[in-house]
């Protein structure tokens, strides 16, 4: 075999090895991330928020179901679920089993695109052109799941503004429907964030820059989103390859600031599209955010 042949074979073997690692090992390496977010007033007690997203639950994922249930040991003050909870029409019992221990804590949720439509095989090149014609699978019973989570005690934030109390802190929330399906109608929740609240939090599924700008303009301290899977496949020690939305590749996951002001956190999520069950340099994650006084970032 000549040099070119050996190089081709080596690259091919490395690619197969990466796919096997990403599909068999890393996509099951569930991880808890932790960040401090300095958004509270001086002297305020910390507020602990468990941010989960992109669970993509199906009925036969016992390991993932158990890992999600075990998050209750963290005893968060609040739980925020930023969508893409479903991945199959028959998965609602598995979702509610997974979330049942977390329903003991105050929580809020919004839908994602895969709560409305089941995943479907598609050409990976489409991820480089997020505004191209969308490919939808079968409709999923999102209204049924939303009712079940609301009956469990969580608040549906779909185009809703509300104030909840957690750990003696008044938290002003505002949320939207899914931006990826162009269902977000920010004008329905627009206006200055509640000034009397201890902290003001926006919630949406996809971190589109226009929405980030709108929440920041209205005075929200923090925005929580998901959708990107952190890129799902990333350059080692580098950025995501694609984000599947308008946010830039270097801010596809974790905690950042928008124009030096409002903080935003993008959860990398715990699942994958069932037709692309691979993660590389991007572990499946949930995040424990500890809100602390400004100037008190750990």
CA distance linking residue 166 with residue 162, whole number of Å: 13
How crowded is residue 199: how many other Cβ atoms within 10 Å of its Cβ?
Answer: 23
- Residue 153: the pLDDT is 97
In angstroms, what CA-CA distances link 138 with 29, 58, 118, 133? 29, 15, 5, 16
- Residue 19 clears pLDDT 90, i.e. is over it: no
Q: Of 132 and 149, which is predicted with more confidence?
A: 149
Assigned fold of 3-293 = Purple Acid Phosphatase; chain A, domain 2 (3.60.21)
Lowest mean pLDDT among 14-28, 73-87, 209-223: 14-28
pLDDT band at 12 (very low <50, low <70, confident <90, very high): very low
Q: Which of 266, 257, 172 is nearest to 220 (CA)?
A: 172
Phi, psi of 52 (to 5 degrees): -120, 150
Q: Provide, rounded to the nearest whole percent, the portion of the chain with pLDDT above 70.
A: 86
- Residue 35 clears pLDDT 50, i.e. is over it: yes
- Residue 7: the pLDDT is 40
Q: What's the rounded mean pLDDT across residues 17-44?
A: 79
Q: Provide, rounded to the nearest whole percent, the portion of the chain with pLDDT above 90.
A: 74
- Residue 4 clears pLDDT 50, i.e. is over it: no
- Residue 1: the pLDDT is 55
CA distance linking residue 245 with residue 239, whole number of Å: 15
- Residue 133: the pLDDT is 54
- Residue 242 clears pLDDT 50, i.e. is over it: yes
Please give the full DSSP string across 11-27, using - where no structure is assigned.
HHHHHHHHHHHHHHTGG
Q: What's the rounded mean pLDDT across residues 121-125?
A: 56
Domain boundaries, the chain: 3-293
Confidence (pTM): 0.88
Helices (H) and strands (E) in the chain, counts: 6, 12
Buried b (16+ CB within 10 A) or exposed e, 90-127: ebbebbbbbbeebbebbbbbbbbbbbbbbbeeeeeeeb
């Amino acid at each position: 075999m000549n040099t070119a042949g050996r190089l081709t074979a080596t690259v091919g073997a490395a690619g197969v090895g990466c796919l096997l690692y990403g599909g068999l090992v890393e996509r099951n390496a569930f991880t808890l991330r932790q960040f401090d977010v300095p958004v509270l007033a001086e002297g305020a007690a910390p507020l602990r928020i468990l941010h989960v997203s992109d669970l993509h639950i199906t009925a036969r994922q016992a390991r993932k179901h158990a890992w999600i249930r075990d998050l209750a040991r963290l005893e968060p003050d609040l739980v925020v679920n930023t969508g893409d909870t479903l991945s199959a029409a028959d998965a609602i019992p598995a979702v509610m089993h997974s979330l049942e221990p977390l329903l003991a804590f105050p929580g809020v949720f919004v839908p994602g695109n895969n709560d409305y439509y089941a995943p479907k095989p598609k050409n990976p090149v489409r991820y480089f052109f997020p505004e191209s014609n969308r490919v939808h699978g079968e409709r999923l019973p999102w209204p049924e799941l939303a009712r079940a989570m609301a009956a469990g005690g969580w608040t549906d934030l779909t185009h809703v503004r509300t104030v909840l109390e957690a750990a003696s802190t008044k938290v002003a929330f505002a949320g939207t429907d899914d931006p990826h399906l162009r269902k977000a109608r920010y004008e329905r929740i627009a206006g200055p964030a509640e000034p009397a609240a201890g902290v003001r939090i926006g919630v949406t599924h996809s971190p589109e820059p226009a929405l980030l700008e709108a929440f920041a303009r209205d005075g929200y301290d923090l925005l929580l989103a998901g959708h990107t899977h952190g890129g799902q496949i990333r350059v080692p020690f580098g950025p995501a390859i694609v984000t599947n939305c308008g946010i830039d590749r270097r801010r596809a996951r974790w905690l950042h600031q928008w124009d030096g002001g409002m903080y935003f956190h993008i959860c990398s999520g715990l699942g994958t599209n069932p037709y692309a069950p691979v993660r590389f340099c991007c572990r499946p994650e949930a995040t424990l955010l500890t809100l602390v006084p400004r100037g008190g970032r750990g």
